[in-house]
Structure 1
Amino acid sequence: MSLEVFPVRDVYNYTELTRSYMGIFYSDRFAKFLNTTQTGHAHSSSGMQFSILVKSIFTSLCLCSLQLTLFCFFRPIFKSLYQPRCYCVPNDERMDLLPSGFLSWVIPTMKHNINYYLSLGLDAYFLVRFIHILLLYFICVGSMNILILIPLNWSGSSSKNPSQTGLDKLSLSNISPSKIERLNIHFLMSIFTIGLFHWLIVYELQSFVKIRHSRLLSDFHKSKISTNTILIKNVPEHLRNYEALRDLFQLALPGCIRNIWFLYEFSHINDEVQDLADTLQILELEEILQLSKMLQNKDGSYQKQTQKVNEIMFHPPIQLNPFVIPVIDRRVRIKLPGWFRYLCLSPKVSQRQWCIDSFGMKLQAIDMWKQALVDDKIKKHNRVFIQFNSQREACIAHQCLLSQYQGNFDKSIMETNPKDVIWSNVVRENSIGCLIERYFVTILLICLIILYVIPVSFIGLFSHLPWLIQILPFLKWMYALPENIRETILSLLPSILLSLLTELVLGVFKFLIYFKGKPTQSELELDLQIWYFAFLFVQQFLVVTISTSVTVVFKQLIDQPTSIPVLLATNLPKAATFFFSYISVKALTFCGNSFLRIDQLILRYTKHKLQDKTPRQIFTRLTSLLKVRWGSVYPVYSVYGSIGLAYCIISPLISVFIVFFLSLSLLYYKYALRYIYSHVNNSETNGRLYPIALLHLFSGVYCLECCMIGTLFLSRNDNGRCPLKLQGWIMSLILLTTICFHITLYGRYYYYFSNLPILEDKSTSQESQIHRRHARVDECDSTSVDEYYSNLKLLMLHPSYSYEPPRIWLPDDGQGLSSAQINQLENEAVGLSGGTNKGAKIKLVGRGWSTKISISEAPPDFK
């Protein structure tokens, strides 16, 4: 067989083979489905004049200034909304009240050292540190690149090749072939930028390890029960009893066990507890409505008043029997509003009597399940919480392989907070259906990232007024606007719509990741961080910058993997001015909306006033402070940090806008974490989000290096030669070095992200001895519910097992009517644990046609 029939050059051509099994991505129909144009819509901003940029930012600047002005004005008026940590928390946890001056909050907020935020948890501290470190980095790198590179770029064009216009004259793409040697300065500055980034990452990871370990090994942290408690999965059935597990751990860690909590079936008692909580709310609302009617009558004793007030009739809510989806081990419970009973022509019943009857039945059922728990007659799941005598012993057990049999004791989670547990996920068995569900959710997340190209592509068309009016004819009035205003609106609209779409997809991500079966909210936040960063980086950077079609990029990577540098070098410079506008609008929108919180201000005096009709509802609303879900916050700054890194050499002016965005973010979080957000974070990851956020920044460095490689190899002088090949090969070597550095860095620090060093010191030894002395007390058996409670046996069980009979809370009316109501309910409602009218007052307002409730204390059964 001759070589002419099978040429050597085709033997190693795998393009056709690749297309054979990935042909769908080469289909014209598939490409049209995902594509409107072949370039990212950020390219439409190429050549933008400075005046247009200022106009697009000016609108957002005016709106942000208005919002900040309103915030400064409202802050001393609506203190419970803008400074809730000064009022709506226990006295020993309240912050000092800020001065009431218009701008008197700014300097005290900025003066707070970032070390203060350690008291709010490592997640809060490291976010402030992350923003602070990025801010310092871009100030340092940005100032040098701007002073050195922008003059070179501005004067880099020639009369023979004046190709760039507007702000593109400040970018690398403005350098003409006759001045190609200037790229040597860009090459040197990129080496400096990359080297400083590598030093920063190493320094921050080392600091992270020291700070995290110092915090977790402190006496304050060790005093928490969750510190030495781990959740172990897949416990075999023959070991699901206290003695067997204790004896098993005696072999490796003698005397290490302090407490064991099995995961009992809780669905039935939890249903009863939820129904009882709803019934209590209905009962208190009914009693307050009766009280309001009696106050408006204004005469007679309680007995006479009750005769005048008509009994409230209603349709009780419908609770359908729960059903289980066996394949994925999911339990679904549906509750319908009472008005559905109209369809069945069911008669109304007394609201008060229905609540009293429900109390008796629900409390009886709860007591039955509690006694069944004491008698060990409830099913145990294959999960168990084990509390060790010390943090050191818990770390040893967590890092050891606890069983030689695959599938037994194969997974454990440290630092388990019972309030952070996602109980519906923890109880699920490791079935094939659950595994399929997790993979299915993963596929959905990937599809969401890819298919979100469609609405993002659609957004780019909003910058074209004729097309926009064709779709939305009622916008014809925009033709009457001056041309400058029209251009400003059209340049601003895509950025605003892109931000709204991003917020929408975040909710979808949170919903889907829940179904991946993560046992705790903290684990869910860690997973959300990774997926949300992938989405933001692809959609807010790659797709917008390179191409609106993922298929175009995907096909090019398959056919010619080495074309990545060329792809980036030809696309990134054209999109630089888009990010100037986008980042500015994002910064101003974030700052104004976050400080003013206009949505919460409106809801508080509209919807919330209509909904909150009982003292308990008002108290819950006031004391339910905002809690940060850090898994969706860290990725935002990782993405903008990556964008800044990718463009800091290509278009150095990007650093100004990144610094602007980070400065406003730092101002907000330093204020909000101190005065707005709750200091309690049950989903604390103890800083594990931070190293992931740092490593995500490598995405920007890779883009910078690839773009520089493509630029150096593509550059041609007037003679058509490439004089910068050597620099291109050096940059390729730097790319390989960065990849190796990244892998080595991850391998070196990976175990420090979630593990602790085992330090043997006197305090640890003394702590272990003290716990061992008390170990026998914790091992005693109990035979009654009261003993079960006294020995803290319910601490790590589902909260329903620690539910106590509620106490009714009515407002004091000053005439003794509410006291008479409480006394009557105590006599009629079986199991109601008393009641009180202390801490709440009700009074008539206006002409006596309405009432107002105010509170001064917590509910009587508040924990």
Structure 2
Amino acid sequence: MAAMADAPSVLFARQSGGNAKQQDSHTDQGSSLSALVSTLVPVLLISSVIFLVFLFLAKKLHRVYQPRTFIASLRNWQRSPKQSPGFLGWRKEYSMLRDDFVLGHASIDNYLWLRFFRMLAIMCLVGCFLTWPVLFPVNATGSGPGSGLDILTFSHVQPGPRYYAQAIMAWVFLGWVMFMIWRESHYFVRLQQHYFLSPYQKARISTRTILYVNVPEEFRNEDAVRREYNGVRKVWLVTVPKQLADDVDDRDTAATKLETGEMKLLTNVTKRQLKAEKKGNSSSPATGPGGRGNAVTVDKKDVPTHRLPVLKFLPLGKKVNTIDWARSELHRLIPQVASDQAALRHDRSEPQGALFIEFESVAAAHNALQQAGAKSKAKSKVKMTPKEIGMTPDEVLWKNVIKSFATVQLFNIVCTAFVWFLCIFWTIPVAVIGAISNIDSLTDTVPFLSFINQIPSSILGVVTGLLPVVLLAVLMLLVPIIMNIMAKLFEPTLGSAQLKVQGWYFPFQVIQVFLITTFSSGAAAVVGDIIDDPTQAPTLLAQNLPRASNFYISYFIIFGLLTASLQFLNIAPLLFFLILGKILDKTPRKQYNRFVSLAGVGWGALYPKFTNLGVIALAYSCIAPLVLGFATVGFFLLYLGFRYNVLFTLGTQVSTRGESYARALQQLTTGIYLSEICLIGLFAIGTSSTNMAIGPLVLMIICLAGTIVWHVFMNRSLQKLRDDLPSEGSAGFISQMEHPAGGADAEKYPGIDQHGAHQGYSHNPQAYNGGATHNGNGATHNGHVDNDGYAGYAAAKPEPNVAPAAKPGMMTRIKAFFKPQTAASNAITSISPLLNTPSRPYTREEEQDAYVHPAIISECPIVWIARDAYGLSGQEVRASRQKIGEGFEMTDDQAWFDEKGKVTWSQEVEKAPIWEDEPAY
């Protein structure tokens, strides 16, 4: 969605500079109020239509627009309150819930994502109050060239004493921005520490576990590790069994093939039988389950087949019966895999160069990190690198954790070099697409392409209008995908891969979307004048670069209105629910996974797009302060759109434990540096006309030097703050056992019931699974069924005896604003009843196998098919069990073909054959 919003904006900018020579003057091109209105009106109309569609669908498609209020994969206390009835009923809960509700019910990443937009909106709003009263009169009364909105920019000021206004306001506003970044950075560190010291988080194994890489052979044993570190609870020596992993993949592939093959067979037979019944010539017997026959004839064309490729990436090879092939593969692989797994469980004699250490407490893990990174204190004798803390087992990229330091560095250097190549040369394909959109000029310049003019105007309009936008959107989407693939080649976890993508994608956004667009929009407009008189290039660029801000006003309008409205519409889940899901989800497993899964976001690709918007606002803050106003509105609208999704629809796909927010704050300082460098350049150009520009130039050089010093000292203070872990009782949490273990001890924890519901929330079992029941006709009911076809589940609702947290007074909030560490502690304390609930106690097996390679502990997946009305599914289940043997399970429970021959399931999540009560590692 963001790529689609990017595409027309970037394309317009690249075109606008190239077409400027055809205008009478650059000042007449897009700088007037009418040009602004011409952008605002259509985008506002489109956004309004999108929002109205959301309002119309929101009450009908609960699975798309409020899954967090009922979805059974969430614990009761993790759900959001059910939305009030009515066309605008959602506004009540939306307005009532505070942002820190997300911190207590979802994740720290989702909470900080909202905080990021709120911070940007406040930062720009204060910037408007600071800069507009001073810079608008100074710029508007200047004697420089320009008209319309251009009179409010730096280009309308002639070199002279007025430059002091720009310099002084840069000191004031950029100083405010530096304070905001400093405050938020310190707030984040303390918030993260208190969050992971909460009973819910510190009871999780991952919170106390550190991944070490580059482990030398002499320390690849538990005794050596325990001698080196204090407070060690458990050590997992990493073994990556390549052959076993390949066999497990082959086994799971065969199971998937069997499941899809069986479902294809059953679907073909069911549809053929239903068609025959309608015609009155069914060949099946007249009696049987459900009133139909208990036997059917299976035609040869009903049986699925596939080819066995000689090479995995070539779909060419011998054609085989899918079901028979899968059964024989499972018969061969299941005992072979089980034997190899049993051998590896008892023989870990060849551990590889990585290990996981679980410590007794969060403090002990923190001390181990300090011990490894200490410079002045006694260094650890173990020459191994603590790579990451807090990763869950399913986030580990096992092939990467055992790679040597040299291999990782080689991958890092090569991939980073390729990213910088993309940053510089991605302009070429974008320019080609821009040429397609400006086909008239292209055919005039390149005569042999004149045949294009013969294309009918209707088709040509699509080629020049829609095609470039789609192509550019695809190009913009490809970049983070490529980066994500590269990061997963050497990063040890999915979270660190996201942070690497964020570090790569941000400079790409700044260079391609901001800098190149700015210079192409400003420089191309005066290229003819520069050719005529090259000595005037600096002056002409100084006058025209500020005017490129007019494009970014449109850019903020498009992003603010269009992206925010698309966030409410939730277009991707909507398309999957209405169209793609019905096409793709042909098995009970796929329908189940779609039902219980919440959409997540990739922080590495998402943050840089919007951090770049903040950089643009900062860079233009003092040379075109009007941008700050539109940025304020844009960021506020984005905050509203993302807030709805975070509260009611989004889960967490990959956790960075909030580090993506911290990195975005660091990247935001790029806007400060660009603003200062831009002003220094403009003032330096002004010194060629008058010595009065020297004073402002000196002020900005001092400001730049001060910013560098501030940045260095801020990072040092942040490191000291990270090293200073607060006491575990400092956030006001109720004392809980440090290491709950054993499922039988769940009753010892008064804060949770059997489903993990927190006290003060509904303990009705139906609140967890919806109380849905399956009747004899294959229908699902629990009192009502939503219009989207999904059973309505009870939502988490506070009991009357739970008093809401008192709102802090104005003076308290003002003091907390200037004391971010205290504010972070208060934020956690305000939601501590939620975080006081420990995670479900682990069984002994779950604890022992937490960080064991999945191939060593993976069981053969259950094959789940739908029950048909003719008894064929039962026959297939019995035949598969008999032919495959021990260690295999197949069932047709809880799923069936309805009267129209479509696959459906009971939607009783805990009764689904593939449901597992997954531990919260």
TM-score with structure 2 length normalisation? 0.74
Question: What residue identity is the alignment partner of 1:614?
Answer: T
Using the TM superposition, name which of 621-630 and 359-368 deviates more. 621-630
Which of residues 634, 652, 677 is equivalent to 2:607?
634
Q: Does 1:726 align with 2:695?
A: yes
Aligned pairs (5 A) from 1:664-743: 664-678=637-651, 680-681=652-653, 683-715=654-686, 721-743=690-712
Question: What residue identity is the alignment partner of 2:141?
Answer: S
Asked if the contact 1:235/1:384 (under 8 Å) is kept, the reply is: yes
SS at match of 2:902: strand
Distance 1:824 1:667, change over 3 A: same
Q: Which runs of 5+ in 2 are unaligned?
A: 1-12, 275-281, 524-535, 743-842, 917-921
Partner of 1:526: 499
Which of residues 424, 431, 450 is equivalent to 1:450?
424
> 1:221-266: per-residue Cα shift (whole Å, max 9, x none)?
11010111111112222332333433x33xx52xx22211111123
Asked if the contact 2:196/2:202 (under 8 Å) is kept, the reply is: yes
Identity, % of aligned pairs? 26
Which of residues 390, 415, 428 is equivalent to 2:403?
428
Instruction: Give the distance between the partners of 1:738 and 1:42, measured in 2 at CA.
Output: 38
Asked if the contact 2:288/2:870 (under 8 Å) is kept, the reply is: no
Cα offset for 1:616? 0.9
Instruction: Give the distance between the partners of 1:497 and 1:58, measured in 2 at CA.
Output: 25
Q: Does 1:308 align with 2:297?
A: yes
Cα offset for 1:583? 2.4
Q: Does 1:439 align with 2:413?
A: yes
Q: CA RMSD in A?
A: 4.0
Question: What residue identity is the alignment partner of 1:226?
Answer: S
Instruction: Give the distance between the partners of 1:756 and 1:279, measured in 2 at CA.
Output: 52
Instruction: Give the distance between the partners of 2:730 and 2:87, measured in 1 at CA.
Output: 53
Asked if the contact 1:390/1:767 (under 8 Å) is kept, the reply is: no
Instruction: Give the distance between the partners of 2:607 and 2:740, measured in 1 at CA.
Output: 41
Which of residues 117, 132, 136 is equivalent to 2:118?
132
Distance 1:502 1:407, change over 3 A: farther
Question: What residue identity is the alignment partner of 1:310?
Answer: D
> 1:629-684: per-residue Cα shift (whole Å, max 9, x none)?
11222222221111111112211110122122212211121111122211x44x32
Distance 1:353 1:499, change over 3 A: closer
Partner of 1:173: 155
Which of residues 408, 413, 416 is equivalent to 2:388?
413
Instruction: Give the distance between the partners of 1:99 and 1:230, measured in 2 at CA.
Output: 44
Question: What residue identity is the alignment partner of 1:512?
Answer: M
Instruction: Give the distance between the partners of 1:87 and 1:476, measured in 2 at CA.
Output: 57
TM-score with structure 1 length normalisation? 0.78
Instruction: Give the distance between the partners of 1:124 and 1:37, measured in 2 at CA.
Output: 34
Q: Does 1:381 align with 2:361?
A: no
Q: Does 1:227 align with 2:207?
A: yes
Which of residues 163, 179, 188 is equivalent to 1:208?
188
Partner of 2:866: 811
Cα offset for 1:716? 7.1
Instruction: Give the distance between the partners of 2:27 and 2:83, measured in 1 at CA.
Output: 46
Partner of 2:8: none
Partner of 1:558: none
Instruction: Give the distance between the partners of 1:173 and 1:313, measured in 2 at CA.
Output: 74
Which of residues 124, 128, 136 is equivalent to 1:150?
136
> 1:267-315: per-residue Cα shift (whole Å, max 9, x none)?
3233233333332333233333444425535535689855622355454
Partner of 2:107: 121
Which of residues 244, 256, 259 is equivalent to 1:284?
259
SS at match of 1:308: coil
Which of residues 198, 201, 226 is equivalent to 1:218?
198
Partner of 2:895: 840
Partner of 1:28: none
Using the TM superposition, name which of 51-60 and 612-621 deviates more. 51-60
Distance 1:469 1:123, change over 3 A: farther
Which of residues 644, 660, 664 is equivalent to 2:617?
644
Question: What residue identity is the alignment partner of 1:572?
Answer: L
Distance 1:621 1:566, change over 3 A: farther
Question: What residue identity is the alignment partner of 2:606?
Answer: V
Partner of 1:583: 556
Partner of 2:236: 261
Cα offset for 1:536? 0.8
Distance 1:684 1:581, change over 3 A: same
Using the TM superposition, name which of 587-596 and 645-654 deviates more. 587-596
Instruction: Give the distance between the partners of 1:202 and 1:446, measured in 2 at CA.
Output: 29
Cα offset for 1:214? 1.3
Distance 1:654 1:307, change over 3 A: closer
SS at match of 1:385: strand
Cα offset for 1:317? 4.9
Question: What residue identity is the alignment partner of 1:737?
Answer: G
Q: Does 1:595 align with 2:568?
A: yes
Asked if the contact 1:807/1:835 (under 8 Å) is kept, the reply is: yes
Distance 1:474 1:582, change over 3 A: farther
Using the TM superposition, name which of 108-117 and 690-699 deviates more. 108-117
Partner of 1:30: none
Asked if the contact 1:495/1:585 (under 8 Å) is kept, the reply is: no
Q: Does 1:369 align with 2:340?
A: yes
Distance 1:410 1:42, change over 3 A: farther
Distance 1:238 1:186, change over 3 A: closer
Instruction: Give the distance between the partners of 1:109 and 1:475, measured in 2 at CA.
Output: 53
Asked if the contact 2:895/2:903 (under 8 Å) is kept, the reply is: no
> 1:193-231: per-residue Cα shift (whole Å, max 9, x none)?
122112222222222222122112222211010111111
Which of residues 840, 857, 876 is equivalent to 1:802?
857
Question: What residue identity is the alignment partner of 1:842?
Answer: F
Q: Does 1:861 align with 2:850?
A: no
Distance 1:244 1:425, change over 3 A: same
> 1:593-620: per-residue Cα shift (whole Å, max 9, x none)?
3333445544444443233221112112
Q: Which runs of 5+ in 1 are unaligned?
A: 1-35, 322-333, 551-562, 775-787
Question: What residue identity is the alignment partner of 1:620?
Answer: N
Distance 1:477 1:176, change over 3 A: farther
Instruction: Give the distance between the partners of 1:113 and 1:71, measured in 2 at CA.
Output: 22
Distance 1:317 1:674, change over 3 A: farther
Instruction: Give the distance between the partners of 1:505 and 1:467, measured in 2 at CA.
Output: 29
Cα offset for 1:712? 3.6
Cα offset for 1:420? 0.8
SS at match of 2:904: strand
Asked if the contact 1:389/1:768 (under 8 Å) is kept, the reply is: no
Which of residues 881, 884, 897 is equivalent to 1:826?
881
Using the TM superposition, name which of 618-627 and 586-595 deviates more. 586-595
Partner of 1:196: 176
Question: What residue identity is the alignment partner of 1:98?
Answer: Q
Question: What residue identity is the alignment partner of 2:82?
Answer: L
Asked if the contact 1:807/1:834 (under 8 Å) is kept, the reply is: yes
Instruction: Give the distance between the partners of 1:385 and 1:510, measured in 2 at CA.
Output: 25
SS at match of 1:861: coil
SS at match of 2:898: strand
Asked if the contact 2:73/2:597 (under 8 Å) is kept, the reply is: no
> 1:104-140: per-residue Cα shift (whole Å, max 9, x none)?
3345334432211212222211121111011012112
Partner of 1:237: 217
Distance 1:512 1:810, change over 3 A: closer
Question: What residue identity is the alignment partner of 2:598?
Answer: L
> 1:518-573: per-residue Cα shift (whole Å, max 9, x none)?
101111111211211111111111122235999xxxxxxxxxxxx99989845531
Cα offset for 1:737? 0.8
Number of residue pairs aligned between Structure 1 and Structure 2 = 755
> 1:766-793: per-residue Cα shift (whole Å, max 9, x none)?
999987999xxxxxxxxxxxxx974743
Which of residues 595, 606, 620 is equivalent to 1:622?
595
Asked if the contact 1:41/1:544 (under 8 Å) is kept, the reply is: no
Asked if the contact 1:469/1:476 (under 8 Å) is kept, the reply is: no
